[in-house]
Structure 1
């Protein structure tokens, strides 16, 4: 049979499942990512001669994960109804300023002491696994623009997922520098890392993202003579925001992940109530889901092909510590002193979902320099993501419904049950 025809059939099935499965799985303690990984594992177990191993295709892995993450960041930024302010985003700042550095430190220490990784590899593991994934965290994020589904938990997790991918990059670059130049030469290259990878690249990401977002927002909603881009009604303009902000920032040697989210927030800020935001969000979400399903099916195939084979029992123990101890403890510590109910603080601490962004960082680092025990690092990363997908995918629906019941008046159905 012609392979081209088989690809068309597979693509057709995938597109239909992208639209259908979220509706079918809504009432079950089962998430779309879980289904995709299981389907990929089953499908590739029946195929001989090809394994989608990220270690064999690191450049492809880097660019495909990069694409799905930046599309997800645009969708996350556009759907935030709450205006940007340091006061209104208080829980998010705590998660970013306290929980993420503590997570990086905790994971790196476990990687070094328990697994015996060198300083650079342990730091890479911490930097790659610390961010909350903007793709797989969709079930705990806010609803579409203007839907009203923006309580404190959903908002804080959405904003955290939007910002911490970019903020983790300096630590990934620090790990790469340590692996390439040696930790002993930190005095020589440490200043350059601080000025370039921290100060300049963060500033460029924030600045370019804001300028691009405000400029595109003006073209969409405020340009005179009825020539506004929003009048086209074309949701695929979301990709224009994504690629333009990301590309210009990368040319300026800044952090494109940060710029994409900031640009989306800035576009929303220029005209908060326009219906066109919903079209931008819907298109971003559809493309994100399609790419996510492809990647997770490939992840399942990689697991079937032996991605987790290098794991040892200390590796498994370390992964359990990452998921059940490091992020939850770091999250609880970061929220000490807030007025949030303990149930909401526990939810914010627990749902630090690890996902496709972690694979991007690892693929990026592998393409930059050589790493000792790279196969084991990939295996630890893979098991962490698979465990996070399974654990958080099963628990997210009952936990979020429990919180919704606590908030709403008696007798009022939640939004997803009113239809």
Structure 2
């Protein structure tokens, strides 16, 4: 309970100083990870976090489900068509190439880890998170299309990474059964579609008939994410895939649903994400104090540069994008909450040297990413993308003539 108390105190403190902190690109991930690091460090830490315990496991699983659902609701099929295949290229070409390069880099740099573990690390770190660079994504000096592409792709690749990591975990634990995995995915797909389509239709119908209130509709959308995840789990399917599919189905079924309807699920996801970032902070000191090998830092450098940037550049060959924006899409792929959650799930099931490699690499890559990407986001946008400062807010439209 003390950990919950301190988490609440930190969140209140962040709410008080958030505007001023964002001026220096200090985002929620940085603030919460730093708090977790400080409060769990030392021989007599104020807060003790059991990372592999059932409480943390349920927390990270539910958090990933909400994140996948909310990310999926950002996906507009019409927008994807208008982008001339750029996001699709990044997902179908850059994502698998990133996993492959991550695997190939891990084989020589992580001795004793085994091929399955190298593949797990490659898939875990292929998932990107736009949260650490929110200041840049709100900066209108970056082209709107590029900002939205970063946001959408970070949501879509999470949906690809989650089942891939779980499949590779099964292989690492020598429990892989292709038939059962396919059945789990099929159950998840059905559960996600049924919950997303059915729930969105009910909520839309209730709004048109004026049976529901705005507040109740927000709770209903939150319940869709919970229902999709739990229904798939009860039916022995993949809850993460179900939550992601439900988010896509909800957006496709009710494209006119007001953005405000998602406010509650987004706020709930933000609180849970803050808690997971707090847990991540507790992993930083043990990882660095145990004496990290130089190979881990080499892998981390490659993961944040070549392993991500080269596949993105190759996937965008022949597109209309200028090279500056192609490299921006390649560089701005921060590792964050999704990689962290998938890493914690892997840690809970692995043991020995395999668990050590996953913990060390994931902690170092995410730590460097939230610092390099997070702290430099606003300044990078100012210096490189558009040069002189432009007006941040569009001019106000003239008042309507009601005479």
- TM-score band, normalised by shorter chain: 0.7 to 0.9
Deviation for aligned residue 1:313 = 0.9
Residues in 2 aligned to 1:335 and 1:329: alpha-carbon distance in whole angstroms? 10
Q: Cα distance 1:209–1:154, how it changes in 2: closer, same or farther (>3 A)? A: farther
1:116-195 aligned within 5 A:
116=111, 117-133=113-129, 136=132, 138=134, 151-181=144-174, 192-193=177-178, 195=179
Q: Cα distance 1:137–1:59, how it changes in 2: closer, same or farther (>3 A)? A: farther
Q: Cα distance 1:288–1:18, how it changes in 2: closer, same or farther (>3 A)? A: farther
Q: Are 2:128 and 2:339, in contact at CA under 8 Å, matched by a contact in 1?
A: no
Counterpart of 2:355 in structure 1 is 374
Residues in 2 aligned to 1:225 and 1:96: alpha-carbon distance in whole angstroms? 36
Counterpart of 1:186 in structure 2 is none
1:333 aligns to what SS in structure 2?
helix
Q: Report the more deviating stretch, 353-362 or 39-48.
A: 39-48
Residue 362 (str. 1) matches residue 343 (str. 2): yes
1:260 to 218, 243, 255: 243
1:371-410 aligned within 5 A:
372-400=353-381, 405=386
Residues in 1 aligned to 2:289 and 2:187: alpha-carbon distance in whole angstroms? 38
Deviation for aligned residue 1:237 = 2.9
Q: Are 2:191 and 2:231, in contact at CA under 8 Å, matched by a contact in 1?
A: yes
2:271 to 284, 287, 290: 290
Counterpart of 1:98 in structure 2 is 93
1:415 to 375, 393, 397: 393
Q: Are 1:104 and 1:123, in contact at CA under 8 Å, matched by a contact in 2?
A: yes
Deviation for aligned residue 1:164 = 2.0
Q: Are 1:53 and 1:305, in contact at CA under 8 Å, matched by a contact in 2?
A: no
Counterpart of 2:195 in structure 1 is 212
Counterpart of 2:401 in structure 1 is none
Q: Cα distance 1:329–1:225, how it changes in 2: closer, same or farther (>3 A)? A: closer
Q: Are 1:62 and 1:359, in contact at CA under 8 Å, matched by a contact in 2?
A: no
Q: Are 1:69 and 1:135, in contact at CA under 8 Å, matched by a contact in 2?
A: no
Residues in 2 aligned to 1:298 and 1:67: alpha-carbon distance in whole angstroms? 14
Counterpart of 1:38 in structure 2 is 34
Residues in 2 aligned to 1:403 and 1:196: alpha-carbon distance in whole angstroms? 49
Q: Are 1:69 and 1:134, in contact at CA under 8 Å, matched by a contact in 2?
A: no
Q: Are 2:203 and 2:220, in contact at CA under 8 Å, matched by a contact in 1?
A: no
- Render the CA deviation track for 1:11-68: whole Å, top value 9, x for unaligned: 54333235344422332233232222223223333671564353xx254443222222
Q: Are 1:219 and 1:228, in contact at CA under 8 Å, matched by a contact in 2?
A: no
1:311 to 287, 292, 304: 292
Q: Are 1:59 and 1:363, in contact at CA under 8 Å, matched by a contact in 2?
A: no
Q: Cα distance 1:229–1:309, how it changes in 2: closer, same or farther (>3 A)? A: farther
Residues in 2 aligned to 1:52 and 1:12: alpha-carbon distance in whole angstroms? 15
Residues in 1 aligned to 2:89 and 2:100: alpha-carbon distance in whole angstroms? 16
Q: Cα distance 1:71–1:21, how it changes in 2: closer, same or farther (>3 A)? A: farther
Residues in 1 aligned to 2:107 and 2:339: alpha-carbon distance in whole angstroms? 18
Q: Are 2:169 and 2:346, in contact at CA under 8 Å, matched by a contact in 1?
A: yes
Q: Cα distance 1:212–1:225, how it changes in 2: closer, same or farther (>3 A)? A: same
Residues in 1 aligned to 2:132 and 2:71: alpha-carbon distance in whole angstroms? 12
Q: Cα distance 1:225–1:73, how it changes in 2: closer, same or farther (>3 A)? A: closer
Residues in 1 aligned to 2:376 and 2:185: alpha-carbon distance in whole angstroms? 34
Deviation for aligned residue 1:339 = 0.8
Residues in 2 aligned to 1:201 and 1:140: alpha-carbon distance in whole angstroms? 38
The gaps in structure 2 that reach 5 residues or longer are 397-403
Residue 336 (str. 1) matches residue 332 (str. 2): no
Q: Are 2:229 and 2:239, in contact at CA under 8 Å, matched by a contact in 1?
A: yes
Deviation for aligned residue 1:234 = 4.8
The gaps in structure 1 that reach 5 residues or longer are 144-148, 183-188
Counterpart of 1:13 in structure 2 is 9
Deviation for aligned residue 1:150 = 9.1
2:22 to 2, 5, 26: 26
Q: Cα distance 1:239–1:416, how it changes in 2: closer, same or farther (>3 A)? A: farther
Q: Give the TM-score normalised by the residue count of structure 2.
A: 0.83
1:215 aligns to what SS in structure 2?
helix
Q: Are 2:68 and 2:159, in contact at CA under 8 Å, matched by a contact in 1?
A: no
2:40 aligns to what SS in structure 1?
helix
